[in-house]
Structure 1
Amino acid sequence: MIKSQDPQLDFNINALDFPVGGAVVAIKDNKVVYSKGFGKARLGADEKPFTPDTIVSIMSISKSFTAASLLKLVDEGLLELDMPIVHYLPYFQTTDEEVSKRITVRHLLSHTAGFAGDLGIGDLVSPIAFNLRDFEKMKEQCGVTDTIIEGIRTREDITRYLRSVALSDTPGSNWSYCTDAYIIAADLFERVSGSSWDEFMESTWFRGLGLNRTTLYAHKVQQAEDHAAYYTSNDNVFRDVTRPDSSMMAYEIPFLVNQLGAPMGFIYSTAHDLGSYLSSYMNEHPYLSSYALHEMFETVWDFEEEGEGYALGWGTNRKENLLILEHGGGYTGVSAYVCMVPSHGTAVIVVSNHDETPSQKIAYEMLDLLLQAR
C-alpha cells in the first residue's frame, strides 16, 4: 500500500514543475494516499503557501459538474439526452433553424452539436474581458459588438445569441470543442428544473457532496484566507499586470471572474475537494444512478488517437482494458488536470495557479505509479 507522502510519489513530482504553486492529491482504493502542496498560492506582501485546501480556479474541469447536473435531471425523468434541445428551449436556434432542431442534449454535452469551436461570447461577457489586450480583436473575430455584450445579462441571453451563429457541421457528424455550449446547458437545466442552476450547484451538489470549499462565487473565494492568485510568464495577455516578486518571472493577472461562465469553466475548488468529488463517482453509493453514470462516461466521439474520445463532460481514454476518465482546465494563470479509473477506485488531481504547470504530465505519471502498485 502506498502511504501518504510516500517518498516514491514525492520523488515522482518535481517541485520545479510548479512555476508558482499547486497541489496534488492521489486516491487509491477510494482513499486519499497522497496529498501535498507546492510553492505559493500568492506572492508578494500577501504571500501564502499553496496547500491541498487552497481554493483555485479549475476552469474546464467545471464541465463535468455541469454535465452531472443534467444527468441528475435524467435520473429524475425530467430530461432525455437524445431529445432535441428545442423541445425544452423553444428559443434555441442557430442561423439554420431546421438543422438546429436536430441538436440534442447529448450533442451539446459531447461537443458534437456542429459548432465550429468556441463561440467567444462566454469569455467576452466576463467582467475582466476588457482587461485583455486583444479584447477589441476578439470582438471583431467573433462578430460581437459592445451593444451585444451589454445586452447579455443571463444565460438565456447567451442561448438566444445563437441566432446569429452559423453551424459548421451537421449535428453528430464531427467533434469540435465548444466551451460556450456548457452555458447553454445551464440554461437548459434552469428551464427544465424550474430552479436556479447556481443555487442547485451550491446547495445541493457542492454541499451534498461535502465540497465545502468549492463554489461558483468569486467574492466567497476572495474572502477566504487560503485562496490563490493567478500568474503567467506572458505580460502581453492582460493589461495592468504586476510582478509581485522581482526574483520570479511571474506576472499577476486580474482575479478570474465570470459568473455567467461558471458552467463552462469558472468553478473554484481545491485539490482535496476535487478528490472527494471524484471519489463520489467511484464509491458504493454514487450521487447519480448507474444508468446516468453509464451515459455520462460512455464515449460519444472517438478521436484518431487510439483509445481517446469524449463522453459527456469527460474525456475518455482506454489503456490496457482500463477506462480512464479525465479532463483538463486551462486558461491564462491556470493549469489543472484530473483523471480517474473507476474500476480501480484510483484518481489523481493536480491544480495550479500558473498556466505553464504541466498538470497533465504530473497527473499521468502519478496515475501510472498508483496502477503499478496494485
Structure 2
Amino acid sequence: MSADELRGLLGEWAREAGVPGVSAGIFHEGEETLLAAGVSSVDTGTPVDDDTLFMIGSTSKTFAAAAVLVLVEDGVLELDQPVVEYLPELRLADPLATKTVTLRHLLTHSSGFLGDIEVDTGWGDDALARAVRQFDELPQVFPVGEVFSYCNAGFLLAGRVAEAVSGGSYEDLVRTRLLEPLGMTDSYFQPWDVLTRRHAVGHALREDGPAVAHTVGLVRADAPAGGLWSTARDQLKWARFQLTGAEILSDETRSLMHNAQRKGALPFEEVGLSWLRLSHGDAQLVRHGGNVSNLQLSEFVMAPSENLAVTVLTNSAGGGALGPRIVDWCLENLADLPKLDGRPSRAIDPGDCPGRYRTGSLIFEVTERDGALWAQMILDTDQPDILSAPPFEVVFVADDVLARASDTRRPSARFRRDDHGRVDAVEFGGRTALKLPGSNIG
C-alpha cells in the first residue's frame, strides 16, 4: 500500500477529531511523502501546506539531547559528571541532588525534582539562565535516579548546561550544530521568526467547535523542553538523520540516544536519551511527540526495523486522537505491522485508586460515577485560553492498570502502592504523580 492512499483520509479524519489543520510527513524505505489538510486558523481560513510552521512541543527535547551529545563528542561535556561541575552556581532545593544530578539523569527524566513548571523570565538571551536560577524552589519529589517521571524542568537545566559550555545562546547552538547542517532551514525558536512566515495557530476545542486561542502557550525559557516550531518537511529531515545518520553525530552516539537507558512510566515502557520507547507487537518503536497547552499537538514515531518514520503536526487538542490514528495506519499499512488487539477489561474493585494525583500544574483525577471509572488530565492554570482535555472513561486491564475504554490496546495509567499496599502514586502521561492527601473520590 502507498502512503498516498492516506491523502484522501486526512481531511475526513481531521474533521472527526476537531482538528482545523494537519500536516503530516512519512519517511519509508528512503522515500518521503508529505500530506496536508485543513486550515492554519479558523479565523483566516489560510490552508495548511507542507511548509506551514507548527509547534512541535516536546519533540524539541530530542534536539536538546542531540545538542548535549554534540558537546559530549566535542569533549567538553560528560553524561555522568554532576552538572554542578559545569554550572557552579547551580542550586537545587535538595543539596544532595545539587551535588549528584547528571546530564544522563536529566535526559532520562530521572532527576527527581518537580518537572511541570511555569517560569516566565522574558524573551531576552538570559531567559534560560534566569529560569534555572529559580530551580532552588523546585521540590525534590523523588531521590535522584530513583523514579522516571517526565520532567520538562530537567531539559531546561540540560539546555542551560549546553548553553553555558558553548558560550552562546541555546537557540544558536541548536541552529548552528543541528538545524543548519541538516538543512532544516524552516525550523525556529523565536516568535519574531515565526510570525513573518506561514504558521499555524493553536485552537481551543469548545462546544461550538475549534476557536483560535490568543496565546502561544510557551515562553522562551521553555526552548529546550518544547519551544521549537517546524514544518513536516523539516521534521522528515530530522527523521532521516535519526534513521540513517549524518556527520553531526557518530552512529554510535546516535544509537545511544535510541537505546534503552532505564524503565519508563506508562504509557512509555523505556527511555533512551530523550527518546521514548514502546513496543508495537514484536516491533520496537522509538518516539516522541508534543502537547503545547492542548493547543498544538504533534507525533513523531519511528520504527527503525522497518525504516519508517511518521510525523504529524496539528493545531488543536483533537490532535491527541488524530496523530495516533495516522501513525497506526502507517504502521499497519506501510510497515505491515500487525494491528494491535485490545486488552480485555477486568471487573476489578477500584478500592483506593480513585482520587487526585498532582505533579506540578498537572492533576490526574480518577472518579467513579454511574458505575464506571472516569479519568481527566487537568491543567491547573489561570490562563483562560488554555483548557483541560475532557474526561474519558477508563477500565482496568490488569491489576492497578487502566486503559481508555474506547481503546484498550495500550495501557494509559498504572497505580503505585506503598509498603502497606496503599495507592500512593500513579503513572500517567509518563509522569509519576503523588496522591493528594484526603483525595479519595467515590
TM-score relative to the length of structure 1: 0.81
Matching of residue 180 in structure 1 with residue 153 in structure 2: yes
- Rounded to whole Å, the distance in 1 between the matches of 2:98 and 2:268 is 30
Q: Using the alignment, how far apart are the partners of 2:155 and 2:97 within structure 1?
A: 19
CA displacement at 1:286 relative to structure 2: 5.3
- Identify the residue that residue 28 of structure 1 maps to in structure 2: 28
Q: Does 1:288 align with 2:249?
A: yes
Identity value in percent: 25
- The offset of 1:55, in angstroms, is 0.5
What is the match of residue 362 of structure 1? 326
Instruction: Give distance in 2, aligned partners of 1:313 and 1:215.
Output: 20
Structure 2 counterpart of 1:350: 312
* Contact 2:22-2:313 within 8 A present in 1 as well: yes
Deviation for aligned residue 1:214: 0.5
**Where in structure 2 are there 5+ consecutive unaligned residues?**
339-442
Whichever residue aligns with residue 346 of structure 1, its letter is L
Return the alpha-carbon distance in structure 2 between the equivalents of residues 329 and 105 of structure 1: 21
Distance 1:4 1:186, change over 3 A: same
Name which of 216, 227, 242 aligns with 2:199.
Answer: 227
| Alignment equivalent of 1:109, drawn from 104, 107, 110 | 107
Find the aligned partners of 2:9 and 2:42 in 1 and give their Cα distance.
26
Alignment match of 2:182 (pick from 209, 214, 217)? 209
Shift of 1:295: 2.2
Distance 1:58 1:305 in 2: 21
Residue 157 (str. 1) matches residue 130 (str. 2): yes
CA distance change for structure 1 residues 258 and 306 in 2, over 3 Å: closer, same or farther? closer
Q: Residues 189 and 199 (structure 1 numbering): CA distance in 2 closer, same or farther, change over 3 Å?
A: same
d(CA) in 1 for partners of 2:215, 2:14: 25
Closer/same/farther in 2, CA of residues 373 and 97 from structure 1, 3 Å limit: closer
Q: How does 1:1-374 map to 2 (within 5 A)?
A: 2-5=1-4, 7=5, 10-11=8-9, 14-16=13-15, 17-32=17-32, 34-44=33-43, 46-121=44-119, 124-125=120-121, 153-224=126-197, 226-234=198-206, 248-256=209-217, 258-285=219-246, 287-303=248-264, 308-330=269-291, 331-357=293-319, 358=321, 359-372=323-336
1:264/1:304 Cα in 2 relative to 1: closer, same or farther (>3 Å)? closer
Aligned mates of 2:237, 2:62 — CA distance in 1: 14
Distance 2:267 2:307 in 1: 24
Aligned CA distance change for structure 1 residues 193 and 306 (closer, same or farther; 3 Å):
closer
Could you tell me which residue of structure 1 aligns to residue 411 of structure 2?
Answer: none
Write the letter of the residue equivalent to 1:314: W
1:367 maps to a residue whose letter is: L
Greater strand proportion: 2
Q: C-alpha deviations, 1:313-348, integer Å up to 9, x for none?
A: 211113444331111211231111110122332100
**Structure 1 residues 8 and 177: CA distance shift in structure 2, 3 A:** closer
Q: Structure 2 vs 1, CA of residues 258 and 371 (structure 1 numbering), >3 Å: closer, same or farther?
A: same
Q: Measure the CA separation in 2 of the matches of 1:228 and 1:47.
A: 11
Contact 1:20 1:250 in 2 (8 A): no
- Classify 1:18/1:51 alpha carbon distance in 2 versus 1 (closer, same or farther; 3 Å): farther
Secondary structure of 2:242's counterpart equals: helix
Instruction: Give the letter aligned to residue 49 of structure 1.
Output: P
Change (3 A) 1:189 1:303: closer
Q: CA separation in 2, counterparts of 1:267 and 1:303?
A: 24
Q: What is the letter of the counterpart of residue 353 of structure 1? A: N
Question: What CA deviation, in whole Å up to 9, does each residue of 1:266-313 have, x standing for no partner?
Answer: 110011110111111112535311221232112223236597222222
What residue number does 1:244 align with? none
Residue 154 of structure 1: how far off its partner (Å): 2.7
Is contact 1:116–1:167 with CA below 8 Å preserved after alignment? yes
Q: How far apart in 2 are the matches of 1:230 and 1:265?
A: 15
Q: Distance in 1 between matches of 2:77 and 2:245?
A: 25
**Contact 2:189/2:228 (<8 A) preserved:** yes
Structure 1 runs (4+) deviating above 6 angstroms are none
Where relative contact order (Cα < 8 A, 6+ residues apart) is larger, the structure is 1
Q: Against the structure 1 CA distance between its residues 234 and 175, is the aligned structure 2 distance closer, same or farther, given a 3 Å change threshold?
A: farther
1:126–1:257 CA contact under 8 A, matched in 2: no
The CA distance in 1 between the partners of 2:176 and 2:74, in whole Å, is: 18
Q: Residue type of the partner of 1:342?
A: P
Does the CA-based 8 Å contact 1:328-1:360 persist in structure 2?
no
Q: Which has the higher helix share?
A: 1
Give the whole-Å Cα distance in 1 for the aligned partners of 2:243 and 2:125. 39
- Whether the 8 Å CA contact 1:62–1:264 is kept in 2: the answer is yes
Amino acid aligned to 2:200: A
**Residues 93, 101 of structure 1: 8 Å contact kept:** no
- Counterpart Cα distance in 2 of 1:307 and 1:313: 12
